[in-house]
């Protein structure tokens, strides 16, 4: 089989690599991501990127530009300026983001800034937490006869008028744990039933992963009672129920805690 030209391409100084680090488990970093990190001379990374993945950048200067929620952060403008400056100074620059760089990661803005500045760059897609975190916890986001559509939304901006129709059979919410009441209200307004199974997965694929299941209408109370915080993913839909049958295998993984069952 012919090798992809991208995979065999030599890494170039003066280039920015926008790399998705995956959801946390270092085994879910892509081969291209690992290759690029090994050659990097400087890495600008987010808070979601785990230490085993950062250690792959053995020869690089590490710059933490991450933030938790609305906490202290390097401004987006400053990050974009720094990437351009580092590339122009001849560095082999990696911009390392959790999951996939183009899924709620502001990778799009950074790619556009590099394009506008005429700086060469490569997108290295990552395994997005949106699908990988539910899967690793035993929750398929689609399932024949149960869920034939899936929507991924942010929990940051759920205020305002509700959507006209139900979003999808399965809804995956990123950045929604601090806003769980608004997310629940939005999904109820869009036509989902209060008893729809829901799950909260905190630090999915990491050794300290936690998975809590409940009904949609219980989500905010469960988040508070269990002390669930970012980074967490909310999954709502009948497919969450499949976890009961897949849980034996999933629960056997180290560090996974099953805090509650799905209620009917
Ligand atoms: C700014 S978004 C970035 C998403 C990322 N680009 C991706 O594709 O996964 C950050 C949110 O992703 C979700 N997230 C990322 N990694 C996660 C993980 N290991 N476990 C649970 N949620 C995660 C959380 O909802 C978190 O607040």
Ligand 1 in contact with 174 (CB < 6 A)?
Answer: yes
Nearest CA to ligand 1 atom 22: 232
Among 153, 169, 175, 192, which one carries the catalytic annotation?
Answer: 175
Higher pLDDT, 147 or 10: 147
Alpha-carbon distance of 171 to 151, in angstroms, equals 5
Q: How confident is the model at residue 64 (pLDDT cuts 50, 70, 90)?
A: very high
% the chain with pLDDT above 90: 75
Has residue 86 got a pLDDT over 50? Answer: yes
Q: What is the pLDDT of residue 105?
A: 85
Q: What is the pLDDT of residue 52?
A: 95
Alpha carbon distances (Å) from 6 to 151, 153, 177 = 30, 30, 37
Q: Could you identify the residue written with the tokens 């030599």?
A: 10
- For 198-222, the pLDDT digits (tens) are 999 999 999 999 999 999 999 999 9
Closest atom of ligand 1 to 97 CA is: 6
- For 92-138, the pLDDT digits (tens) are 999 999 999 999 988 999 999 999 999 999 999 999 999 999 999 99
Ligand 1 in contact with 155 (CB < 6 A)?
Answer: no
Question: What is the distance in A from the centroid of ligand 1 to the CA of 9?
Answer: 29
Q: What is the pLDDT of residue 254?
A: 47
- Given its phi and psi angles, is residue 170 left (phi above 0), alpha (psi -120 to 50 degrees) or beta? beta
The gap between the terminal CA atoms of the chain, to the nearest Å, is: 50
- For 144-197, the pLDDT digits (tens) are 999 999 999 998 865 566 555 557 999 999 999 999 999 999 999 889 999 999
Q: What does the mean pLDDT of the chain come to?
A: 88
Alpha-carbon distance of 143 to 246, in angstroms, equals 13
- For 238-256, the pLDDT digits (tens) are 999 999 898 755 554 544 4
- For 87-105, the pLDDT digits (tens) are 999 999 999 999 999 999 8
Q: Copy the structure tokens of residue 174.
A: 């990123």
Ligand 1 in contact with 24 (CB < 6 A)?
Answer: yes
Q: What is the pLDDT of residue 7?
A: 52
């Amino acid at each position: 089989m012919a090798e992809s030209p991208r995979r065999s391409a030599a890494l170039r100084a003066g280039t920015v690599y926008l790399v998705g680090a995956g959801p946390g488990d270092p085994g879910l970093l892509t081969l291209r991501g690992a290759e690029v990190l090994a050659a990097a001379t400087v890495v600008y990374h987010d808070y979601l990127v785990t230490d085993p993945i950062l250690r792959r950048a053995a020869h690089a200067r590490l710059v933490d530009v991450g933030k938790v929620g609305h906490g202290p952060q390097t401004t987006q403008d400053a990050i974009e300026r720094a990437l351009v400056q580092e590339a122009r100074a001849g560095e082999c620059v990696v911009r390392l983001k959790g999951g996939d760089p183009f899924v709620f990661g502001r990778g799009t803005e950074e790619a556009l800034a590099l394009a506008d500045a005429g700086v060469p760059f490569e997108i290295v897609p990552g395994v997005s937490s949106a699908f990988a975190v539910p899967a690793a916890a035993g929750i398929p986001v689609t399932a024949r006869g149960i869920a034939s559509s899936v929507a991924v939304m942010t929990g940051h901006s759920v205020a305002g008028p509700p959507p006209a129709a139900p979003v999808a059979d399965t809804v995956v919410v990123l950045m929604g744990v601090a806003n769980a009441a608004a997310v629940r209200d939005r999904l109820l307004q869009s036509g989902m039933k209060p008893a729809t199974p829901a799950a909260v997965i905190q630090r999915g694929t990491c050794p300290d992963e936690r998975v809590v299941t409940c009904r949609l209408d219980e989500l905010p109370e469960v988040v508070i009672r269990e002390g669930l915080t970012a980074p967490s993913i909310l999954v709502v839909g009948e497919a969450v129920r499949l976890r009961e049958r897949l849980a034996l295998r999933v629960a056997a993984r180290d560090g996974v805690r099953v805090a509650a069952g799905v209620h009917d």
